Chain A
Amino acid sequence: MRQHKLALCKEHYLEWVPEQTERFIRKYGMFGHDDKILVAVSGGKDSLSLWDILVRLGYQADGLYIGLGIDAGIGYSSESHRLAEKFANDHNLKLQVVDIEKEYGQPIPVLAQISHRGHGKPCAVCGLTKRHVMNRIARDLGYDVLATGHNLDDEAAVLFGNTLSWSVEYLLRQGPVLPSADGLARKAKPLCRLYEREMTAYAILRGIEYIYEECPFAEGSTSIYYKEVLNRLENDRPGAKLTFYLRFLEARQTGLFAESKEPADYLHPCSNCGQATSAPGLCSFCRLIEKVADQAPLVSNL
């Protein structure tokens, strides 16, 4: 069981985490020292720690902060933005900032209302928007790879959800690294083998100031529920989360899921933004923005 790593003294623990990360970057062929990396930074513990680790390992890594415009009475977005900027300034790093409301006319909660997606929760629209913006910035500004702070618990929870519903199309694409495709940047998850608890310890011991408040919309979410279920399992059977994830990667590699050869599964470039999408015409993000533009007069009258 790996949790004993937390018993390392502080100095060794703070060396151990980057060493492990480097090992997995190489093992899964994520990127090299010549690549320009864009780290998606939310202001949370995982993404700020990832940025910190990549820079400590000598990689060329800039940050990307996406301002979602979520306030919910606690200034969630403004506080996470402040922490991302502070980290960048303190370490003399470059942070690219995209403000959703400035670029697309409305903050995420309003975009979600207009779209009628996600049963009153903005999480689906938020995920769609973040993916689009990350790909766009990576392509427009010439980054080779997009790195996200997903840890083992994130990956195990997603895997758990996709396994419960046997969503083969998602299972085929989940992994430590996703190669670039038409209009889509290569994506890497260097922390995918580190427990969420280990990442929290890293952020604390390293003195990284991160946003501790949960996104107000994440409360009661399915992904948090799956994490709790998996933590109960881990508690009774130490190592269960890692085994679940690793055995999945092995099984897929040995052909558990066959790639579909249906032509409908081929990706097309979106006619507006060029990012790959499963149906011909506009991608779901561009359709959302079109809808927002149509309803702009309605919204301003609210």
Chain B
Amino acid sequence: MTVKLILRDKEFEVKPGMTLLSSLQKVNVLPESVIATREGEMILEDEILKDGDVVKLIAVISGG
């Protein structure tokens, strides 16, 4: 099992036991450009991600 990170139509997998911040760095997503949610709840950068977690990343940048 792993941790799954989903951003729009992209899916990333990382090892469990890392913080959200390290996981985002691992898959090259800028923490500043997303809000992370797990089971509908917002989670913060120091959250440790566990085996089987599915983290939905909501892109914050909009154009205009």
Contact = CB atoms under 8 A, between A and B. Distances in A.
Given A201-B42, A204-B58, A232 B64 contact: no
B31 interface: yes
Interface in A209-235: 212, 214-215, 218-219, 221, 223-224, 227-228, 231-232, 234-235
A153 B35 contact: no
Contacts of A215: 63-64
B63 A197 contact: no
Contacts, number: 56
Given A7-B44, A212-B58, A200 B63 contact: no
B20 to A, nearest CB: 12
B32 A6 contact: no
A279 B44 CA distance: 52
Nearest to A197: B60
B1 interface: no
Interface range for A: 20 to 34
A42 B62 CA distance: 12
Contacts of A199: 60
Given A201-B35, A212-B58, A221 B63 contact: yes
Contacts of A224: 61, 63
Contact of B58 (A200, A231, A234, A235): A200
Contacts of A6: 42, 44
B44 A231 contact: no
Contacts of A45: 62
B64 A218 contact: yes
A154 interface: yes
A227 B61 contact: yes
B30 A218 contact: no
Question: A interface, by DSSP: helix, strand, loop or mixed?
Answer: helix
A46 B62 contact: yes
Nearest to A231: B32
B35 A231 contact: no
Contacts of B32: 197, 231, 234-235
Given A201-B35, A231-B30, A196 B61 contact: yes
Contacts of B62: 44-46, 196, 214, 218
B8 to A, nearest CB: 9
A200 B60 contact: yes
Contacts of B35: 197, 200-201, 204
B33 A228 contact: yes
Contacts of A235: 30-32
Contacts of A205: 42
Nearest to B44: A7
Contacts of B44: 6-7
Contacts of A201: 35, 42
A232 B33 CA distance: 9
Interface of A: 6-7, 42, 44-46, 153-154, 196-197, 199-201, 204-205, 212, 214-215, 218-219, 221, 223-224, 227-228, 231-232, 234-235
**What 7 A-B pairs have minimum CB-CB distances, sorted nearest first?**
A218-B63, A200-B60, A231-B32, A224-B63, A197-B60, A221-B63, A196-B60
Given A44-B62, A231-B33, 9 more contacts: A154-B64, A196-B61, A197-B33, A197-B35, A204-B42, A218-B63, A221-B63, A224-B61, A235-B31
